Structure 1
Amino acid sequence: MWDADGALDIYLAWLLQNQFAFDLKKPRVTWADSSASSAVPREWEVWLDRFQSSADAGSFHDFALSGGWDPLHLSGHLGETGSPDVNSRLFRDGISKTSGAFITSTMDAWYTDLSAKATDLKMIGTHSWKVDVFVKPVGFLGTFRRSAQTGLWFAGRHRYHSAGN
């Protein structure tokens, strides 16, 4: 259950405070580009100010908001660092014109592999491609679409994806 231990607020505060920015269009991103960050919307600045002045802001277990920009070294885990899977495959559905399946064996480079293999999947009218992603050691990750607005693959509602990019 999300936030059952109460750690989600301090993690969100850490992300807002440091404003990590990763270019998912570049393969093998391993470090945040601080110059690529943009202003946080005012409502989140207000939330962060309130949270930082609350009793909850000190620390959570070993997670502290102070003590360097990345005290838990989490930023290195926010981008993909794995090697591409040369055996990954993208299959097009023979019935639908905009759906398919992507199968790979590597969890730490699936997004980069999907992006590389799907460069020729063009939108048909207003319909974006829907690709079911499977990582052999893990299983089904979900159905991903490529945003016409951002060019990135995402799962879920587009309004949430576009707000974060």
Structure 2
Amino acid sequence: MMPAAPDERANWSESQHNQRLAYYTCLQSFLTYSFGWTRHDKGLDWWRKRDFAELDDRTALIRAVWHTDDTLMGFFAWCTTVDPALAVRPLKRWARDPDRRPLSLDKETETAVMRALSRPPWTGGSDPMHLGGGDHGGAASVSSAYLGGAATEPSHGRLLGADPELRQAVFVADRVEGWYEMLCEEGADLPELPQSRNWRVDVYVREIGFVGTYRRSRATGLWFAGRHELHMAGN
């Protein structure tokens, strides 16, 4: 189930803030760990210029939830305010030469961005949802101790059934915490394939289920699901 859109007319309360946080963190984490985006502002701007077309099942989902809820523009507007160096933080350990250039917008889009930033929930300081740096959405790439949580037993993940002939493997993680980090570490040990071909790794997280079929981009160094064109749009 997807988080319900928060009621921005309601007075602030802890439960309302938590609802907002869950709603926007879900989107942020999806863009980071499925699309493999280091720059959500670039990726969403690229998609916006294509009228938020349904380019695959994932963009169809985002369109059906956040775009339909009329909240996607506000999230995009906030993304344009994030320091590009901070934006790449969740994936910077694995990203090859990430883009840290500020996003250039036309006047019409700048006006729309400023309008969106003047409305709740984006008016409560520079980072009202505490999304900056990916800490809340970073459970897939960092430990709970890094995020200030209680220390827990380490998560475990491993590759199974790696078949160079089929270029396929399966990766299974026992928990959400750190699964992307473990995929990057385990995936680095896969042997090089002839003719610069890519491994296709079916990723399962036991607390979630099937996450997607991932490849490692030779351009960015990052693991991602879906089409490479969509991955590059946000990098």
Q: TM-score range by the shorter chain?
A: 0.7 to 0.9
Deviations 1:91-145 (A, max 9, x none): 1344734210100012121110000111122243131111000000110000010
Structure 1 residues 46 and 130, CA gap change in structure 2 (3 angstroms): farther
Partner Cα separation in structure 1 for residue 207 and residue 69 of structure 2? 28
**2:223 pairs with 1:160:** no
Shift of 1:59: 1.5
The match for 1:91 is: 160
For residue 125 of structure 1, give the secondary structure of its aligned residue in structure 2.
helix
The match for 1:30 is: none
CA-atom RMSD in angstroms: 2.4
Residue of structure 2 aligned with 1:116, choices 173, 182, 185: 185
**2:136 pairs with 1:77:** yes
The match for 1:13 is: 77
The match for 1:59 is: 119
Shift of 1:157: 1.3
The structure richer in strand per residue is: 1
The match for 2:207 is: 137
Contact 2:143 2:178 in 1 (8 A): yes
Equivalent residues, number: 150
Deviations 1:61-95 (A, max 9, x none): xx12x442211212222433326523x11013447
Partner Cα separation in structure 2 for residue 100 and residue 133 of structure 1? 9
Q: TM-score, normalised by structure 2?
A: 0.56
Higher relative contact order (CA 8 A, sep 6+): 2
Partner Cα separation in structure 2 for residue 96 and residue 67 of structure 1? 54
Q: Which runs of 5+ in 2 are unaligned?
A: 1-63, 145-153
Shift of 1:23: 5.2
For residue 169 of structure 2, give the secondary structure of its aligned residue in structure 1.
strand
Contact 2:142 2:181 in 1 (8 A): no
Contact 1:13 1:48 in 2 (8 A): no
Shift of 1:4: 2.0
Partner Cα separation in structure 2 for residue 123 and residue 23 of structure 1? 28
Deviations 1:43-66 (A, max 9, x none): x45454121354x44224xx12x4
Q: Which runs of 5+ in 1 are unaligned?
A: 28-35
Structure 1 residues 45 and 129, CA gap change in structure 2 (3 angstroms): farther
Residue of structure 1 aligned with 2:198, choices 102, 114, 128: 128
The structure richer in helix per residue is: 2
Amino acid at match of 2:101: S
Partner Cα separation in structure 2 for residue 96 and residue 37 of structure 1? 38
